[in-house]
Amino acid sequence: MLNHPVSSLFPHMMFSETPVVLRSHRVNATKTVIAHLRPRRVWRSIAALVWLAVGLAACLAGSAHAQSTWISNSGTTWDTAGNWNNGVPLAAGRATFATASGTANPFIATSATAGALTFSSGTFTLSAAAGQSLTLTGTSEVFGATSTIVTSGTTTISAPLIFGGNGIQSMRANAGGPLTFSGSITKSDLADLRINGGGSQITVSGNMTVAGKVLSGANTVILSGSNTVGSWDLAGGGFTLNSDNAMGSSGAINFDGGTLLFNQTSVDLSSRFTVSTNQSYGVDVAAGRTVTFSSSLAGNGTGGFIRGGGAGTLILASSANSFAGPVTIRGPLSVAGIGNSGDNSPLGTTGTINLGLPGSAAPTSNLLIYTGNGETSNKVISLSANGGIGGTIQADNPSGVLRFSSNLGFSSTAAAPVAKTLTLSGSGAGEMQGTIGDNPALGGRTTSITKSGNSIWTLSGANSYSGNTSISGGVLSIAGTASLPGWNTAGRYTVAAGAALTVGNAVSDADFSTIRTTGSFATNALIGFDTTAGDRTYAGTPLANIGTGTAIGLMKIGSGTLTMNVVNTYTGPTGVNDGVLRLGVGDAIATSNGVALSGNGQLGFASTVTSATVAGLITGTAPMALQNDASQAVALTLGGGNVSGTYAGNFTGLGSLVKLGTAPSRSPAAVPTPARPRSAAACSRWAVQTPWPSAAATS
């Protein structure tokens, strides 16, 4: 508003104080003619009005587009006109700061208003006195030079900001330095507030109170205050949450191409999630955090779910998730259900689970964790990342078996031939029933298998992968020789100490012997049998150590009974995970340095056996019947190898137990009195270096 008389604005004009009366009469329907009583005064007045209109337009135009640059090298007060090259910025003007033009550390002593802010390269701090603020009235729907706030240097705004443009307003941090808002931000109208990193990080550590929507741009925006916002939109980039109330307690959180990173909070926001058409949920969790989404996640078109590469754990707990697009896993993602394609499940209705982001070569874990009670899924596991990256399935199911019936898939896009590895891990049990091969679309992309952890995984498909098989922990079981490519080729598979390779009943005794002599077994590695499909009797080549220095052991898994009808000479450990290891001859495991009974594993004796020997001791908790299948007494001799161990189970039956050697022994628990006395302590102390898989693994 102008507070000056017209004559002071236009001193070169002469204005008559005599009123001018204008009258008009209509000549026709579209034209009006002005009749005047005093022609000279009328024309002077008309001229004055024209000059007035031009002057007002010029004033208004100047205030709407005025720009003022901070030039002070000593003063810091915003309200001092001399600190600016064009005076204090007008209410609709842009205030510009550049290090070459002053100290660039303005201080708002009393609340001020400007249209917009621009910070050039350099370091800037904009602060305010207690209770004072800066109101920005400029509006802009785009990120760029016309944004309400534009920075190209390291900028900190601690002054409380009020976005009062009553329209869409935006802020952008170009390359050159981060932008930090440590003061409060307020926007009371319902128009959007858009925040775009644009090449540099934006941090909002103050509290935001925004009635409308806050949108992220190309870069991630860090939120660490306590915010109250109408709604959020992750339109590229996304938000990093550094406080529990970073997104407040209400308002929709819409995924529109951006990612939500839980960095310093584990609060469940899933009840507020929505997703734009054909967009995916994008979620990441920082190391040391576990975030659980309990609410169901609906889809909107072809979008799916993308788990970012952070080292924390994300748990999708709802079995009613219905998003239809593929699931892409980069960091640890834990679910209690996999489901079948087309059915709601924690992983939605998708038929594809990408281990790794297609097209990305970033070194991420690509880890799927399963904690359910066993199921069979027809979903496709796909090795998707570029570079020498594979993926891991970690079966931590306490019971049952996790089975995948489809062939292994691939979604990689890089043309260069790079090998990939599928790692099978966990503490439970799993099975890959489909074919595991190399990438058929890109020649030279070999696939390898690694078995790690204390779990039991079975390969039962007709596999064709050309990479190697490495067993570093737990048990890898093969249903037949077709499941282990290169089973009769030296150098194609290795078994580490304490780990085991077992074969199903479809593998003949002769082929079992070939596997034992062909594979690379470390000292105290184990080879053995899986009797899940039924009972088995082994009468092939006795199991012996490899060469002169590699002691190997025997592993028995599966609920069936394995009868050993040969005198084996191996000196490594014997493990019985489930079912019964029956000694068909008394010296079948006489040289073994101990028997570990885990889960439901038991040691039994054929009806022809009345005495048996084990160089080591027996450990575990399963009961031990000292009688054979014909209910005849069995004399069991243990400890000749001078090893220690602890057996916490119960000895029963008619037989006797003899403890040899000089290793110390003790009875950790009461043992029922047998029919006739034992000649030595019923149990002794023996340390087992590698724990055996639990019985749940073969249920």
pLDDT tens sequence across 170-191: 888 888 778 999 999 999 999 9
Strands laid side by side in the 635-638 sheet: 611-614, 635-638, 656-659
The pLDDT assigned to 663 comes to: 59
For 449, the enclosing helix (H) or strand (E) is: strand 447-451
The pLDDT assigned to 138 comes to: 86
- Report the mean per-residue pLDDT for the chain: 84
Confirm whether 501 is domain-assigned: no
pLDDT at residue 397 is higher than 60: yes
The pTM assigned to this predicted structure is 0.85
The pLDDT assigned to 7 comes to: 39
> What is the DSSP code string of 578-626?
SSEEEESSTTTTTT-SEEEE-TT-EEEE-TT-SEEEESSEEEESS-EE-
The pLDDT assigned to 661 comes to: 76
The pLDDT assigned to 144 comes to: 57
pLDDT at residue 275 is higher than 90: yes
Cβ contact 67:86 at 8 Å: yes
- The parent domain of residue 48 ranges over 6-62
Choosing from 15, 47, 62, the residue where a domain stops is 62
Choosing from 15, 34, 62, the residue where a domain stops is 62
Confirm whether 446 is domain-assigned: no
Confirm whether 563 is domain-assigned: yes
Choosing from 33, 62, 91, the residue where a domain stops is 62
Q: Which two tokens stand for residue 10?
A: 């236009």
Strand partners, 380: 352
Confirm whether 567 is domain-assigned: yes
The closest alpha carbon to 495, from 598, 572, 428, belongs to: 572
Structural domains counted in the chain: 2
Q: Which two tokens stand for residue 184?
A: 């409060």
Between 287 and 91, the higher pLDDT residue = 287
> What is the DSSP code string of 68-83?
EEB--SS--BTT-GGG
The closest alpha carbon to 632, from 648, 647, 649, 610, belongs to: 610
Confirm whether 643 is domain-assigned: yes
The pLDDT assigned to 468 comes to: 97
Confirm whether 26 is domain-assigned: yes
Lowest mean pLDDT among 104-108, 279-283, 693-697: 693-697
Confirm whether 89 is domain-assigned: no
Confirm whether 44 is domain-assigned: yes
pLDDT, tens digit (0-9, with 9 covering 90-100), for 341-380: 999 999 999 999 999 987 777 778 999 999 999 999 999 9
Per-residue pLDDT averaged across 606-630, rounded?
Answer: 94
pLDDT at residue 691 is higher than 60: no
